[in-house]
Structure 1
Amino acid sequence: MATLKFILRKSVSGARCKGSLCLRLIHSRKVKVITSPFRLYPHEWDEVRQRVHLPEEDSPRYPYLCKVTESLCAYGEQFEEAAGRLEKSGRYTVDDILCSYHREYNPVNLSGFAELQARNLLRAGQERTARAYRTVSRGLITFNKGRDIPLSQINACMMKEFESYLKERGKAMNTISYYMRMLRAIYWKAVKEKLIDARRENPFDHVFTGFQKTRKRALDLESLRALNSLDFSAILEQQTLRKADTCEPAEGSSPLDSGLYTSWRYFFFCFHARGMSFVDMAYLRKENIRQGVISYYRKKTGQKIEVTVTAPLQRIIDSFSGEVRYSPYLFPVIRDTDKSPRLQYENGLRLQNKRLKRLSALAGIEGKLSTHVSRHSWATTGKKQNLPLWVISEGLGHSSEKMTYTYLASFDRSTLDRANEQIALALAAPPSV
């Protein structure tokens, strides 16, 4: 079996200068060495224990050495994966390990560095961003005909060509922006770790990294009422009157109705909870409710949100009490504590969107109905009720009113025409004496 050992090659200039931290691969008495991008002083490395000596937290080297420690753990995991695959395939040489390691995990190449960052994000619980890093890096490598890309070769010309490549394949501008913003984040992390010269041109200066306003996915008040008035509202009312402690549907309902009823409740819980995102709803725990207030941190931004439990919210919460009796969660999206909560949420999201399509057909609603529609609908309904923009923005948990604009459906032309007439009349009115 192959082994990995870290060694510090000391500088020829003496102990006062930093040396290079290297990875030594050993297999069948053959040795190969990979030089990492990390530079340490001799007193910062423990050769016997194979670890970094961390100084006091107020030391200027402390953040850097913490980063080195995290990277060494990731290198070890990556090496075990690469060696494990080769071990299963039969005979192999140390060169095979080296080629596999360079191809997939070399930290000075895009794939290796992106993978390293993704693993760090996973440890921090940021699964969505970790997946994004892997997706966009694979996309750029595919554009490069499957060849890995040294970080130093990422430049403005390459990014412009990659943008054209994505357009030719029919990608929407917001999707292109997503790719560019994720790649930009990876790139600047490499700059921060001094794997790329910070004095170079910004490769992302001339590609689209903004947001293109698209047709809003909000239901008007009439459609919301049609959806809300489905037979499920009667079922919920009956459950409230009976004060039942289970979430079984009313008599005469089929198993199909039960699934659609669950999705209907999820949709209107998110709507009544000021447009709560489905992911935040799925992760809500019973402990998030204290003294009639739901308090949680948004998964997307980390911002703290507090929502008063209104009568409609309480009815929906109570209707699930039987299903979550022995669960720490408020809703039965995440059921198994032994399985990944993220995977269970994603499965629940797919099922919810699938059922919402059927609910929209039952309610006679045209257009696509998805989990995010409840959030857009709450914002648009608020605007129709003449709520100030800052109130809607605060309710959604947005960091700025500019972000809220993207949630709001445009006023219909008749509303704008009436406003224009009022402005014209104001101009024509005689001045007050």
Structure 2
Amino acid sequence: MASIKTILRKKPLANGHFPVCLRVTKDRRTKYFKTLFNIPENEWDIKGGQFNKRNANYIQNNRLLNKILDRALKIYGNLEIETEDFTLEDFEKHFRVDSNPARQKEVFSFWREIIEEMNEAGRTGNAKVNSEALNSVKLFHQREKLSFKEITPTFLNKYEVFLRSRGGTDGGIGVRMRSIRALFNFAIQRNITKEGYYPFRTYKLSKFKGKAIKKALTMDEVMKIMHINLEDYPTLINAQNYFVFSFYTRGMNFADMIKLRWKDVSYDRIHYTRSKTKGNFSIKILEPVQKILDYYKDINPHTSYVFPVLFREDYTPTQLENRKHKMLVRYNQDLKKIAAMCQINKPMSSYVARHSFANCLKQKGVATDIISESMGHKNLTVTQSYLKELESGVIDEASEMLL
């Protein structure tokens, strides 16, 4: 008797999430096949074997799960017709490897397949990053095909030189390399390539970490942005509001702000799930946040969204990603104008609000573990990277005491 079902594995990962897998049982033997998904336990419908409504993209994610399940059932049915005594190993071979194994072991075609799966799962941001990385590697390789065996430490070093020759920074190169590493991990999981070909034991990505200084504002600089009079510059008011709102909601990400609905605001709190980490937040509405909420309620009382970025309910994941990108570019441009008007000579972007929140709490003497908890970090190492600039400033002030 056979059983094919999508399930949540019982053993959690290091980040507390659980892998979503396809479980295939035949003749009292079971094999598990990983999917792209790792989620909190409360986002899973055990009985239905699918995502529940707590998952931000449950409709798109369930479509992909159904597609995986349909493919597995089709392969299993064909094997039953062709071979009466087939084994789980036979199923695995057909499920993991396409009818043309040589094509599947080719990097570019497999990469496009992963990108397609990400788009179907609603992970359009990841799909965009991987599409850009794929095009970059193709430009470097200058050939139609590339095998996983060819991606050696030497290949990666030459690719790094290529990226630097085109103005690539450590941060940008790191993004490209992490995409390749993730692709390799998918390929190994699906038996597309051998673990022995894995190049990242020799080629280390750690050299791209921590080199970029994360800029944060002081409390005085935040106050300048908050209180600057923009009556003569009405096009900049949204950027001012977005920055102040993010700062006073523990550094809420722009992607989460634009999806915030009025139903997420109740009494004196805001409830939302962070897109990046899937962590759930309940944030007290402070006075500056309440003023911003009142402002948008007055100018557009009939929309379901708090901020004037999304105006429809039927955006596809790709349309949503494109809209977010377009508005984020405009927000960052306007934020730089405001900073210049406030005579703040620091690089400005939406993420500065998050770093500034952490650093201003540290300036007030709040313990690092409390800051970490407030921001939803999984460990203190991440929080320490936010506070690095402040700590160096404190050291500078201490040194000046010797003069």
TM-score when normalising by structure 2: 0.71
Name 1:228's counterpart in structure 2.
226
Letter in 2 for 1:336: R
> Deviations along 1:246-283, whole A, 9 cap, x unmatched?
xxxxxxx45xx222111111110001101111111111
Match of 1:407 among 356, 371, 386: 386
Name 2:172's counterpart in structure 1.
175
Letter in 2 for 1:153: E
Name 2:136's counterpart in structure 1.
139
Name the CA distance, whole Å, in 1 between partners of 2:374 and 2:94. 38
Match of 1:368 among 318, 343, 347: 347
Name 1:242's counterpart in structure 2.
none
1:155–1:311 CA distance, 2 compared to 1 (3 A) = same
Q: CA deviation at 1:336?
A: 2.8
Is the CA contact 1:111–1:138 (under 8 Å) kept in the aligned structure 2? Answer: no
Name the CA distance, whole Å, in 2 between partners of 1:360 and 1:126. 33
Name the CA distance, whole Å, in 1 between partners of 2:94 and 2:299. 44
> What SS is found at the alignment partner of 1:306?
strand
Name the CA distance, whole Å, in 2 between partners of 1:227 and 1:408. 21
Name the CA distance, whole Å, in 1 between partners of 2:308 and 2:181. 37
> What SS is found at the alignment partner of 2:386?
coil
| Structural mapping, 1:24-63, within 5 Å | 44-46=76-78
Q: Is residue 390 of structure 1 aligned with residue 369 of structure 2?
A: yes
Letter in 2 for 1:287: K
Q: Is residue 301 of structure 1 aligned with residue 277 of structure 2?
A: yes
| Structural mapping, 1:340-379, within 5 Å | 340-379=319-358
Is the CA contact 1:163–1:207 (under 8 Å) kept in the aligned structure 2? Answer: no
TM-score when normalising by structure 1: 0.66
Aligned length: 322
| RMSD (Å), alpha carbons | 3.5
Name the CA distance, whole Å, in 1 between partners of 2:229 and 2:203. 53
Name the CA distance, whole Å, in 1 between partners of 2:250 and 2:95. 39
Name 2:209's counterpart in structure 1.
211
> What SS is found at the alignment partner of 1:296?
strand
Is the CA contact 2:219–2:360 (under 8 Å) kept in the aligned structure 1? Answer: yes
Name 1:149's counterpart in structure 2.
146
Name 1:19's counterpart in structure 2.
none
Name the CA distance, whole Å, in 2 between partners of 1:171 and 1:357. 23
1:227–1:352 CA distance, 2 compared to 1 (3 A) = same
1:42–1:213 CA distance, 2 compared to 1 (3 A) = closer
> What SS is found at the alignment partner of 1:45?
helix
Name the CA distance, whole Å, in 1 between partners of 2:393 and 2:121. 50
Q: CA deviation at 1:419?
A: 5.5
Q: CA deviation at 1:420?
A: 7.4
1:310–1:165 CA distance, 2 compared to 1 (3 A) = same
Rg larger in structure: 1
Q: CA deviation at 1:418?
A: 6.8
1:296–1:413 CA distance, 2 compared to 1 (3 A) = closer
Is the CA contact 2:170–2:211 (under 8 Å) kept in the aligned structure 1? Answer: no
Name 2:181's counterpart in structure 1.
184
Q: Is residue 318 of structure 1 aligned with residue 294 of structure 2?
A: yes
- Structure with the bigger RCO (C-alpha within 8 Å, sep 6+) is 2
Is the CA contact 1:271–1:377 (under 8 Å) kept in the aligned structure 2? Answer: yes
Letter in 2 for 1:299: S
Letter in 2 for 1:172: T
Q: CA deviation at 1:314?
A: 1.2
1:43–1:205 CA distance, 2 compared to 1 (3 A) = closer
1:417–1:261 CA distance, 2 compared to 1 (3 A) = closer
